[in-house]
Chains A and B, each alone.
Chain A
Amino acid sequence: MRHFFLSLKTAVWTLFVMVCLFFIGSYMMPMHREVFGPMNNNLLFHWVKDVAADNVWQTWWFFAALAGLVLLTLNTIFCSIQAVRGKWSRSDFLLRISPQVIHIGFLFILFAHLLGAGWGYKLSGMMPEGAYAPLPEDLALRLNQIHVQTDARGFMTDWSVEASLYENNHLVKRGTLGPNAPLFWGATGIYLKSLNFDRGPAALLLVAKDPGAIWALVGGVLFTLGSVTLLALKWKKS
């Protein structure tokens, strides 16, 4: 069993199975929109509990992929531990450590997905200009003003929203939200999705708290550092 988790062939075959499962998934998703549509609307664990578990004929590939990721994680951990054991020399230090940095980065990204799938929250709704809305964790949001930029033909070219964030009824942050420019308070982000003027100026906002995001960034940085180092060393060698 120990050899199974330590084997490079386990990694190769698991990756192959993951490729096949994601291939199947990419066809299942558009075919069963009623099942997969809500997948990105809420926390993934809620979708698994409320939707996926009741539609196993359509979601089996997703559960199989999760099992594949668990196997890949164990294989990565076992192989990395094995690789760092034994004698080290200065000459091959970077060559031995950089693949392990890549592996750690990959594990951090998986850990981030796990955190984001189970904890935090996602809320979205239309807020009219001047409205005030309570948020989880004793926060509240006030949408102060909507700004729109138009070109000479009257088409909207850019837009932004001025908002204030309150914690326990005390103003803690005031700022401007725009496309690609959310307002952050700790791990909570307030995002401007779109505007609507049907019944007066209003903004579609998303409030999301993802405790995994910072770990995904750490994982991404580690993965990049490790892979660039390994690339430089291998390039030199070959």
Chain B
Amino acid sequence: MPFVSLSMELLLCILYPLALYRLWLMLPALALHIVLIVSTAMKYGRIPLIGLHDTLGFLAFTIGAVAVVAGWKRNRDLFSYITIPLILLLLAGSIASPAMPGALPPVLKTIWFELHVILSFVSYALFSIGSVFGILSLYYNEERAENNQYRSLLLGYVLFSTAMIFGGIWAYFAWGTYWLWTPKELWTTIVWFFYSLYLHARLVRGWTGPKVVWMGIIGFVIVMFTYAGVGLLMKSSHEF
């Protein structure tokens, strides 16, 4: 079975780049990725959302899915030139990281955990696509790209806030508190504060345009550090 999973992951590395030609050509890769996620879920009785191997792969999938929806009508351009390498980088990271086999630890066996993690990763994907639209806006000087960045980040913010609320409910049932003072929680709040800042700054007269677009791009760097950096460098309640 690990050989089958690895073969599917390597095949994904071949299928995703097809989208460099036309974005809708990402559909076979997404379909195979769904098969991989479902087969892993059936094997271990859980959605693969634990550890770097699972989550990097899941993030690559969500970014791909969001990219197809957001860029369906786009011709071959900078959008796919940034998105596809990002997906491939995440996939490579996933393949290089050790998989965590087995069922969920009892503390993670709750719908609140799965909702918290799935919504978090969908929001991360939206933040990443928002930053790609930001780069497009700066590169092509497109007003439409700036608007698309706003739409991606607004939807990402709403999902991220909901993910935080679900995480709080889970933590309350698991640990008796909906908030813990740890670096991971602080960084999660930094992400939330930062995108709140972006949404408010966009309403300030004279701040629209490149200033706010840059904020949307920087936001994704903060998101990536919160996801990967904090887990690797700092001790927190999110070590699974």
Of the listed stretches A87-95, A139-147, A179-187, chain B binds A179-187
Bound together, the chains give a CA A40 to CA B181 distance in angstroms of: 6
Report if A224 contacts B (CB, 8 A). yes
* Contact status of A181 and B196, CB under 8 A, knowing A29-B186, A231-B155: no
- Could you say which interface size class chain A belongs to? 35 or more
Is A23 a contact of B183 with CB atoms below 8 Å? no
Is B177 a contact of A40 with CB atoms below 8 Å? yes
Interface size on B, residues (CB 8 A): 47
Report if B162 contacts A (CB, 8 A). yes
Number of A-B contacts (CB under 8 A): 119
Is B158 a contact of A23 with CB atoms below 8 Å? no
When distances are taken between beta carbons in the complex, the residues of chain A under 8 Å from B175 are 191, 193, 206
Which residue of B147, B150, B193 is within 8 Å of A18 (Cβ)?
A: B193
**A191-232 toward B: CB 8 Å interface, digit per residue (1/0)?**
101000000000000101010010011001001100110010
When distances are taken between beta carbons in the complex, the residues of chain B under 8 Å from A9 are 204
Which residue of A25, A181, A217, A231 is within 8 Å of B186 (Cβ)?
A: A25
What is the distance, in angstroms, from A41's C-beta to the closest C-beta of chain B? 10
When distances are taken between beta carbons in the complex, the residues of chain B under 8 Å from A40 are 177, 180-182
Which residue of B103, B151, B173 is within 8 Å of A235 (Cβ)?
A: B151
What is the distance, in angstroms, from A56's C-beta to the closest C-beta of chain B? 17
Is A180 a contact of B190 with CB atoms below 8 Å? no
Judged by DSSP, the binding face of B is helix
Interface centre among A27, A40, A122, A181 (most CB of B within 10 A): A40
Is A180 a contact of B169 with CB atoms below 8 Å? no
* Contact status of A29 and B183, CB under 8 A, knowing A157-B106, A158-B106, A238-B150: yes
Is A22 a contact of B174 with CB atoms below 8 Å? no
Report if B18 contacts A (CB, 8 A). no
Interface centre among A8, A9, A180 (most CB of B within 10 A): A180
What is the distance, in angstroms, from A186's C-beta to the closest C-beta of chain B? 14
Bound together, the chains give a CA A206 to CA B178 distance in angstroms of: 14
What is the distance, in angstroms, from B14's C-beta to the closest C-beta of chain A? 35
Is B182 a contact of A29 with CB atoms below 8 Å? yes
Is B161 a contact of A12 with CB atoms below 8 Å? no
Is A180 a contact of B176 with CB atoms below 8 Å? no
Is B234 a contact of A30 with CB atoms below 8 Å? yes
Is B176 a contact of A206 with CB atoms below 8 Å? yes
Is A36 a contact of B187 with CB atoms below 8 Å? no
Closest residue on chain A to residue B189 by CB atoms: A22
* Contact status of A22 and B193, CB under 8 A, knowing A210-B176, A220-B165: yes
Report if A15 contacts B (CB, 8 A). yes
* Contact status of A8 and B203, CB under 8 A, knowing A179-B107, A208-B177: yes
Is A30 a contact of B183 with CB atoms below 8 Å? yes
What is the distance, in angstroms, from B44's C-beta to the closest C-beta of chain A? 13
Is B176 a contact of A122 with CB atoms below 8 Å? yes
Report if A39 contacts B (CB, 8 A). yes
Is A157 a contact of B103 with CB atoms below 8 Å? yes
Is A113 a contact of B194 with CB atoms below 8 Å? no
Is B186 a contact of A179 with CB atoms below 8 Å? no
Subset of 9 A-B contacts with CB under 8 Å: A26-B230, A179-B107, A179-B109, A179-B174, A193-B175, A206-B176, A208-B177, A210-B176, A227-B161
